[in-house]
């Protein structure tokens, strides 16, 4: 008997909840706003599009008010924090203001009413869902405006060729996840589709521009349906002062160091020390860049290629220096072509190019060598040494010019022209 009583009671409660009717004294206590609220939600189903004719589309206007962007160029993801204003017409949320004490507008929770399923299409794996929870504004014409604060994380391939002076274009595509354009039609607000009034730049990046475009999304496969998308292209510039101070300027210094060492006298050991130091510097910079630059990006930063090539030039300079050092100490009589080469160079305008011609230590050395030579054999010996020294100097000048030209070519090919 008791059991039937409980069932009857549950049934009664259930039927009250389902029908939603309340005791009459509660109904009269409601003020106009609450009455409007409960009347609007009476028999309202938030799962279906709020149109009376199923063939008509819900036009959803979108406005992005950008607040903050964080861009992770290593992970190749961009997170856009913004207030997204969504505006559409709900045909079931209309009322006559005079019936409700002239209320023109009312606030409603977004989970009580239908909301568009706006989704980010190029989202990264952690992207949660397209739904949002906020309070929306509804007016008596049925126009609903919701402004949720949303963070969208999208994938953005980075182009690092011009690192650290690179500009990245990140594109985010928004649209309805499951509805066609004939059901839910996403468009921009007529005025100011993107607002950047309160925008703050994220670390390391400066937002230059935002371009918005609506893709109609009509495909040959389905002539009767469209899949419109809202496309936002964010153009961002890297704040390059830090990386430039860290890598670009030191690599210029190290290149100048290599070139200057090549100008030094061959027999000077400082030259070898400087060149080795420069080679070490190249290794350090390549390692340093490896920490900052994603090694797996779609293109390699120019600065990395430049330092790599400069490292090869420096290594060649070290090898050539060692070679020239051994050349100077040769005692064998030089072959004919060496003496004739020396004669040609020292008689022609080429001698002004050979820097060591003006080097006092070298002329002293040759003078000493010539003065000391009393006997014929001594004279011959000094001539041999002089020939080799001259050859080494000529080669050295040649190597310097070649390195200089190689650097010029490297700089002109690697520095972007645009
Ligand atoms: C980025 O987009 C702008 C405008 O669409 C274009 O002019 C520019 O070349 C693009 N830059 C890159 C690196 O793709
Ligand atoms: C959607 O809106 C756009 C622009 O507001 C309009 O050109 C297009 O015809 C609309 N599509 C549908 C299916 O209503
Ligand atoms: C598109 O609509 C037309 C006219 O309503 C119809 O004849 C045609 O079969 C439809 N095409 C597809 C692919 O549904």
Q: Ligand 2 in contact with 261 (CB < 6 A)?
A: no
Q: What are phi and psi of 260, to 5 degrees?
A: -65, -40
215 and 249 assigned to the same domain: no
Single residue among 239, 264, 288 that ends a domain in this structure: 239
Residue-wise pLDDT tens digits, 66-124: 999 999 887 889 999 999 999 999 999 999 999 999 999 999 999 999 999 899 999 88
In a domain? residue 1: no
DSSP string, 115-184: ---EEETTB-TT---S----EEEEETT-EEEE--EEEEEEE-----TTTTS-EEEEEEEEEESS--TTTE
85 and 201 assigned to the same domain: yes
Q: Ligand 2 in contact with 258 (CB < 6 A)?
A: no
264 and 315 assigned to the same domain: yes
364 and 407 assigned to the same domain: yes
pLDDT of amino acid 360: 46
In a domain? residue 53: yes
252 and 232 assigned to the same domain: no
Nearest-atom index, ligand 2, CA of 187: 5
Structure tokens at 322: 């060692």
Single residue among 239, 267, 282 that ends a domain in this structure: 239
120 alpha carbon – ligand 3 mean position (Å): 29
Ligand 3, CB within 6 Å, residue ranges: 223-224
pLDDT of amino acid 136: 96
268: Cβ contacts below 8 Å, ≥ 6 apart: none
Nearest-atom index, ligand 2, CA of 180: 13
205 and 140 assigned to the same domain: yes
- Domain total in the chain: 2
pLDDT of amino acid 90: 95
**Is 327 within 8 Å of 395 (Cβ atoms)?**
yes
Nearest by Cα to 365 from 245, 228, 267: 267
Q: Ligand 1 in contact with 235 (CB < 6 A)?
A: yes
Nearest-atom index, ligand 1, CA of 168: 13
pLDDT of amino acid 149: 93
- The SS3 assignment for 43 reads coil
* Cβ burial, residue 391 (10 Å; 0-12/13-18/19+): buried
In a domain? residue 94: yes
In a domain? residue 269: yes
Q: Ligand 1 in contact with 222 (CB < 6 A)?
A: no
Which residue's CA is minimally distant from atom 8 of ligand 3?
224
Nearest-atom index, ligand 2, CA of 181: 13
313 and 399 assigned to the same domain: yes
Length of the chain: 418
**Is 379 within 8 Å of 373 (Cβ atoms)?**
yes
In a domain? residue 47: yes
Q: Taking the model in full, what pTM does it have?
A: 0.78
180 and 61 assigned to the same domain: yes
* Separation between Cα atoms, residue 74 and residue 336, nearest integer Å: 61
Residue-wise pLDDT tens digits, 296-344: 667 888 888 888 899 999 999 999 999 988 888 887 888 888 888 887 8
261 and 405 assigned to the same domain: yes
Single residue among 203, 218, 239 that ends a domain in this structure: 239
In a domain? residue 156: yes
Q: Ligand 1 in contact with 237 (CB < 6 A)?
A: no
Rg (CA), the chain: 40
Residue 138 domain boundaries? 39-239
Which residue's CA is minimally distant from atom 12 of ligand 3?
224
Give me the residues of the chain with pLDDT under 50, please.
Answer: 1-2, 5-19, 357-361, 373, 418
289 and 381 assigned to the same domain: yes
**Is 86 within 8 Å of 175 (Cβ atoms)?**
no
- C-alpha count within 13 angstroms, C-beta hemisphere, residue 83: 13
Q: Are strands 167-176 and 118-120 parallel, antiparallel or unpaired?
A: antiparallel
Q: Ligand 2 in contact with 175 (CB < 6 A)?
A: no
* Separation between Cα atoms, residue 67 and residue 70, nearest integer Å: 10
260 and 210 assigned to the same domain: no
pLDDT of amino acid 22: 66
Which residue's CA is minimally distant from atom 1 of ligand 2?
185
Q: Which ligand is nearest to the CA of 180?
A: 2
In a domain? residue 26: no
In a domain? residue 281: yes
pLDDT of amino acid 19: 47
**Is 311 within 8 Å of 323 (Cβ atoms)?**
no
251 alpha carbon – ligand 2 mean position (Å): 55
In this structure, what CATH number is given to the domain that contains residue 190? Answer: 2.70.170.10
217 alpha carbon – ligand 2 mean position (Å): 11
195: Cβ contacts below 8 Å, ≥ 6 apart: 63, 64, 65, 66
196 and 329 assigned to the same domain: no
pLDDT of amino acid 370: 52
């Amino acid at each position: 008997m008791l059991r039937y009583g409980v069932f009857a009671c549950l049934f009664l409660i259930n039927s009250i909840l389902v029908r939603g009717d309340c005791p009459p004294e509660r109904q009269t206590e409601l003020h106009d706003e609450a009455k409007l609220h409960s009347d609007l939600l009476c028999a309202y189903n938030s799962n279906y599009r709020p149109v009376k004719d199923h063939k008509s589309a819900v036009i959803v206007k979108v406005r992005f008010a950008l607040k903050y962007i964080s861009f992770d160029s290593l992970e190749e993801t961009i997170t856009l924090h913004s207030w997204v204003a969504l505006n559409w017409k709900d045909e079931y949320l209309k009322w006559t203001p005079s019936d409700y004490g002239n209320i023109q507008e009312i606030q409603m929770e977004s989970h009580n009413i239908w909301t568009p399923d706006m989704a980010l299409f190029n989202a990264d794996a952690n992207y949660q869902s397209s739904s949002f929870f906020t309070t929306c504004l509804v007016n008596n014409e049925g126009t609903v405006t919701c402004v949720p604060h949303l963070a969208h994380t999208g994938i953005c391939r980075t182009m690092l060729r011009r690192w650290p002076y690179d500009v990245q274009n990140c594109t985010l595509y928004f649209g309805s996840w499951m509805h066609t354009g004939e059901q839910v039609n996403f468009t921009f607000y007529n005025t100011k589709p993107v607002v950047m009034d309160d925008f703050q730049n994220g670390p390391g990046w400066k937002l230059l521009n935002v371009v918005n475009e609506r893709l109609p999304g009509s495909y040959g496969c389905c002539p009767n349906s469209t899949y419109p998308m809202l496309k936002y292209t964010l153009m961002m510039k890297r704040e390059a002062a830090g990386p430039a101070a860290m890598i670009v300027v030191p690599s210029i210094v190290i290149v100048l160091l290599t070139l200057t060492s090549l100008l030094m006298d061959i027999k000077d050991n400082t030259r070898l020390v400087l060149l080795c130091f420069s080679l070490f510097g190249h290794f350090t910079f390549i390692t340093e860049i490896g920490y900052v630059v994603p090694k797996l990006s779609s293109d390699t930063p120019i600065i990395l290629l430049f330092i790599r090539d400069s490292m090869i030039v420096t290594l060649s300079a070290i090898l050539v220096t060692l070679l020239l050092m051994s050349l100077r100490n040769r005692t064998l009589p030089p072959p004919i072509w060496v003496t004739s080469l020396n004669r040609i160079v020292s008689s022609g305008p080429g001698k002004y190019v050979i820097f060591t011609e003006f080097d006092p230590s070298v002329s002293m050395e040759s003078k000493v060598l010539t003065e000391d030579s009393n006997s014929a054999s001594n004279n011959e010996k000094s001539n041999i040494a002089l020939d080799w020294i001259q050859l080494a100097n000529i080669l050295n000048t040649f190597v310097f010019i070649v390195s200089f030209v190689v650097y010029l070519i490297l700089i002109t090919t690697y520095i972007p022209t645009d």
